[in-house]
């Protein structure tokens, strides 16, 4: 992974290699926003499939192809009505609770600027 040399370095740690047993996921449910608005969630997921961002796989094929890693993550749905009357939909994938974030290896820690950093950058020296 190429570093940008902008953000602080992260000491390399081993990525988590365990994964959730797929049988444990059979009883897992998504967040209430998806459960209550399944039709809206399906519209957005169908859009992801159409654009090639995800694909539908049989459970057996999933187990064969992805022997390690994050098996599944809970989904949430954000709905927003636009001024023109259309609906904006976003699916949120909870990688923190499924330990997907713990499996990622990152070389740098992304740090957002603080208010004082912005003020300092605006000062004329």
Note the pLDDT tens digit of each residue in 73-85. Answer: 889 999 999 999 9
Residue 76 sits at φ, ψ, to 5 deg, of -125, 160
In this structure, how many other beta carbons lie within 10 angstroms of the beta carbon of residue 85? 6
Note the pLDDT tens digit of each residue in 21-30. Answer: 555 555 678 8
Note the pLDDT tens digit of each residue in 31-81. Answer: 999 999 999 999 999 999 999 998 888 878 877 887 776 667 889 999 999
């Amino acid at each position: 992974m190429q570093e940008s040399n902008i953000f602080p370095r992260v000491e390399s740690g081993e990525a988590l290699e365990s994964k959730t047993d797929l049988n444990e996921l059979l009883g897992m449910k998504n967040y209430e926003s998806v459960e209550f608005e399944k039709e809206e969630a399906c519209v957005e997921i169908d859009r992801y499939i159409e654009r090639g961002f995800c694909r539908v796989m049989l459970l057996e094929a999933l187990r064969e192809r992805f022997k390690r890693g994050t098996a599944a993550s809970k989904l949430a749905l954000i709905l927003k009505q636009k001024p023109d009357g259309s609906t904006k939909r976003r699916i949120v994938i909870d990688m923190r609770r499924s330990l997907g974030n713990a499996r990622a290896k990152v070389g740098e820690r992304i740090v957002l600027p603080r208010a004082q950093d912005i003020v300092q950058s605006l000062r004329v020296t």
